[in-house]
Structure 1
Amino acid sequence: MVTVRSVVALAAYEGWYIYQINVHNAFLNGDLLEELVGYDPVIVLVYVDDLIVTRSNQKLFCDTRQEIQKKFKMKDLGELKFFLGIEFSRSNKGILMSQRKYALELISKSGLGGAKPTCTPLEMNQKLTSIQYDEHINNGIPEGDTILADITKCQRLVGKLLYITMTRPDLAFSVQVLSQFMHCPKKSHMEAALRMVRYINEAPGLGLLMPANDTNKLTAYCDSNWGACVVTRRSVT
């Protein structure tokens, strides 16, 4: 999925068109030519049985599609709109990637369609701990925070939350924190996961914009919290 985002970002910046092709029972292997004599470059991204083709030269795109048609049965799906649960919409500002349909299904299956949304993915100053930490530091699991009878339910939910981080970087930190406890999740971990779903419910259509303007400048943010992680005593902000 990182490759998908990179290709979409490149197409947005360069102003290339992106098309999607469904190839039936095809597994393609080959080298990607970065430079072709007489043509602008074309990128073909292979993912399962779908291809994403982005191009800046109309003739090269048509030639590429015809070559694929000679060897495989395929269906031209037109301009990229929906791919692996991700919706794509284009404007003069760039290409917006969102998972609104996936988010609404996640909210519905979690039974939180009518729940009150939250403004933060994790509760302020909440300290999630593991079973080992409770046994050695807290002298046992705190009352009311028992191990889940069905741990797979929490694991599946966190897995779904992990996938939605493809277009929701605001959830990335919270999901990776919760992922540390999936070998033996407790009630507090499940509650934290459900809170993230309620946070998504506040703006299910929120997505990631790949801008059309110059994005060569890399901007990073950092903060030091002086050992906020109760397990490792490291700065994790």
Structure 2
Amino acid sequence: MQLPQGFHSKEENVVCKLNKSLYGLKQASRQWNAKFCYVVKQLGFKQSKADYSLFTKRLGGSFIALVVYVDDILIASNNVQEVEALKVSLDQHFKLKDLGGLKYFLGLEIARSAKGISLCQRKYALEILKDAGMSACRPSKVPMEQNLRLSKLQGTLLPDPGVYRRLVGRLIYLTITRPDIAYPVHKLSQFMSKPRKPYLDTAYKILQYIKGCPGQGIFLSASSDFHLKAYTDADWATCIDTRRSTIGYCIFLGDSLISWKFKKQSIVSRSSTEAEYRAMAVTVYELTWLLSLLKDLEIWHPQPALLFCDNQAAIYIGENPVFHERTKHIEVDCHVVRDKVQDNVIRLFFTPTHTQLADLLTKALNSSQLRHLLSKMNVMNIHVSASLPKGECTLLDDDRLITKKTAADASNRPDSHLEGECQSLN
């Protein structure tokens, strides 16, 4: 070890004792998290076992929830005085910057009213369009053409694969509030090692769809009940290279969409029933985690969660513990569905294909199917006037969304009165 410049010592073999972690070291983030957790726990907070970034505190009739992402903090409570006291206590240990009511956090735009909370990434979506040179492109009604099958050997290799990788990486972050593009984006993410021209053309198709309604996002209704409902689906042997199936699920708390996932299975399923059953198992894992998270938030959920599937055979396998003949080749951990059904944690129901909301996450749909499922998921664009049908909008040259009436009406957007009530700190 060499002594710092300007430091002189007559002693040999001396070392420097580090009293505080330096910013930029690989240990700094770990030390910061440990320090923050210690301080918050000293203030009486309890760290969640389901999500270690969540801290909760119950004090009489007041409840405080604190969420931390690196050095960005969100505070939500039913007691304003307790929030102010917490900010004072945290400011004594850390240098805080109070950003006031929650309106923008990690690229997410939050708008709140008496009807509920809206989450979107409009600013981020417009930046993606601008950086890709697609601000003036023609909007598309769908993010991906139906029956499009991409292969790892299809088309010519891109001369600069970095363009494709950066674009897909940014689109992946956009799926946080856009389940409508989750399927095509994650489909493209499977070809990051050797991107080809058809993949880039498909990515540009997604940008054309985003151009149509960049402010589309999730609406969390304030009138929803606290009952978990899930839809699960699988598209059997959809990958033409590996013949692996695509699974997807979407989970609702009441009428509000809170979790969704699209994934290609790690093994080859021998039948569509097996693929559906494995999709049900993955959904049960997520439901189990969400039940633990609701418990940490002190939300009582006595009734079993509802799981909807459009495959009758998969439901029979989940409900019948002696149905061995067609399931003996399936791994034991997939039979967690049976265990949860017997413990009355979940209940299985059949849903027809035309009402299967998880279809949005497993296959490309036409524009009418896409609009129908998005309306059922409470995915909407608050920047569009309520008099217009959902998703029907026009984009001007200055990137302002207006209705089909007049440009003057654009100033009366329905989000002008929305105000965030959560506190954000940095």
Q: TM-score, normalized by length of structure 1? A: 0.78
Alpha-carbon distance between aligned partners in 2 of 1:98 and 1:185, rounded to the nearest angstrom: 29
| 89-98 or 46-55: bigger deviation | 46-55
CA displacement at 1:149 relative to structure 2: 0.8
Query: How far apart in 2 are the matches of 1:53 and 1:166?
Result: 21
Aligned to 2:203: 193
Residue 152 in structure 1 maps to residue 179 in structure 2: no
Using CA pairs under 8 Å that are at least 6 residues apart, name the structure with larger relative contact order, 1 or 2.
1
Change (3 A) 1:50 1:222: closer
Whether 1:46 aligns to 2:68 is yes
Is 1:98 the counterpart of 2:120? The answer is: yes
2:86 pairs, out of 52, 64, 67, with 64
- Rounded Cα–Cα distance in structure 2 between residues aligned with 1:204 and 1:36: 39
Q: Residues of 1 paired with 2:57 and 2:74: CA distance?
A: 18
- Answer yes or no: is 1:202 the counterpart of 2:202: no
State whether structure 2 residue 175 is matched by structure 1 residue 161: no
- Whether contact under 8 Å (1:146, 1:187) holds in the other structure is yes
Where does the alignment leave 5 or more consecutive residues of structure 1 unmatched? Answer: 1-25, 132-140
- 39 and 109 in structure 1: CA distance in 2 versus 1, 3 angstrom threshold: same
Once the two structures are superposed, residues 66-102 of structure 1 have per-residue CA deviations (whole angstroms, 9 ceiling, x without a partner) of 1012122222111001111111100122110111111
Amino acid of the structure 2 residue aligned with 1:100:
R
Residues 91-132 of structure 1, C-alpha deviation per residue, up to 9 Å, x if partnerless? 12211011111111111111111111111111111111113x
Q: CA deviation at 1:38?
A: 2.5
Opposite residue 188 of structure 2, the aligned amino acid is L
Greater CA radius of gyration, 1 or 2? 2
Provide the C-alpha distance between the structure 1 equivalents of 2:93 and 2:202, rounded to a whole number of angstroms. Answer: 50
> What are the Cα deviations for residues 186-230 of structure 1, in whole angstroms up to 9, with x where unaligned?
001111111111111110000111221224333433455443321
How far did residue 44 of structure 1 move? 1.5
Q: Aligned residue for 1:113?
A: 135
| Structure 2: distance between partners of 1:235 and 1:170 | 20
In the alignment, structure 1 residue 231 sits paired with structure 2 residue 241: yes
Change (3 A) 1:166 1:224: closer
The 5 A counterparts of 1:128-147 are 128-131=150-153, 145-147=155-157
Q: How many residues align?
A: 200
Shift in CA distance, 122/80, structure 1 to aligned 2, threshold 3 Å:
same
Q: Distance in 2 between matches of 1:203 and 1:178?
A: 21
Letter in 2 for 1:58: V
Task: Confirm or deny: 8 A CA contact 1:39 1:60 kept in the other structure.
Answer: no
SS in structure 1 of the partner of residue 185 of structure 2: helix
User: 1:222 and 1:43 mapped to 2: Cα distance?
Assistant: 30
In structure 2, which of residues 123, 128, 145 is the aligned counterpart of residue 123 of structure 1? 145
| Other-structure match for 1:5 | none
Deviates more, 1:211-220 or 1:63-72: 211-220
Between the aligned partners of 2:202 and 2:140, the Cα distance in structure 1 is 11
Percent identity over the alignment?
39
Quote the Cα distance in structure 2 between the aligned partners of 1:68 and 1:86: 24
Three-state SS of the structure 2 residue aligned to 1:208 is strand
Distance across 2 between alignment mates of 1:226 and 1:81: 41
- Which whole-Å CA distance do the structure 1 matches of 2:193 and 2:233 have between them? 29
Code of the aligned partner of 2:239: C
Q: Which SS does the other structure have where 1:74 is aligned?
A: coil
Write the distance in 1 (CA, Å) between the matches of 2:189 and 2:234. 22
